[in-house]
Amino acid sequence: MELRLLFEARAPLRRPLHNVNICLRKHHLAQRDVYMPTPHHPPLAVRRALRKLGGDIKDARKRRGLTAEIVAERAFTTRPTLQKIEAGEEGVAIGIYASVLNALGLLDHLGQIADPSLDLVGQQLAAGALPIRVRRRSLRPGSKS
């Protein structure tokens, strides 16, 4: 009860929160309302893939003769965020990556990443789950056909 009143008395939050665990500590409660979850450190393979993607985006930008400012403007983001993307930082939202790819004319390739026709492992698993034999449904007594 007291905790709810304390939160209601404060100014509204500046950003929306979605599925965030609230960690309440007495000595931090006066400073902030909500604590974000601890940072996630992706596996090495993910970091390598993001660095490669960032490098490829940077190369594509340079091949097109575009400056970072122009691409950032076309992607509706900032130059520092574009630099983070080109460095392969994992904290940048995938929507920003998509905006940058769109600004470079490469967005169509993003839609192909998880295309079912290119997912060989998924196709093999689905084929293995098919029934060996399909039985004809028996008709109920009294039904027509």
**What pLDDT was estimated at residue 17?**
45
pLDDT tens by residue, 70-90: 999 999 999 999 999 999 999
| Class in CATH terms, 44-125 | mainly alpha
In angstroms, the Cα distances linking 104 to 3, 84, 107, 133 are: 49, 16, 8, 50
pTM of the model: 0.60
Contact, 129 vs 122, CB < 8 A? Answer: no
Helix (H) or strand (E) holding 58: helix 44-63
Question: What is the gyration radius of the CA atoms in the chain, in angstroms?
Answer: 25
Buried/exposed 46-74: b ≥16 CB within 10 Å, e otherwise: eeeebeeebeebbebbeeeeeebeebbee
| Domain ranges within the chain, ordered by starting residue | 44-125
pLDDT tens by residue, 17-55: 444 444 444 444 444 455 555 567 889 999 999 999 999
**What is 65-105 written as a DSSP string?**
T--HHHHHHHTTS-HHHHHHHHHT-TTS-HHHHHHHHHHTT
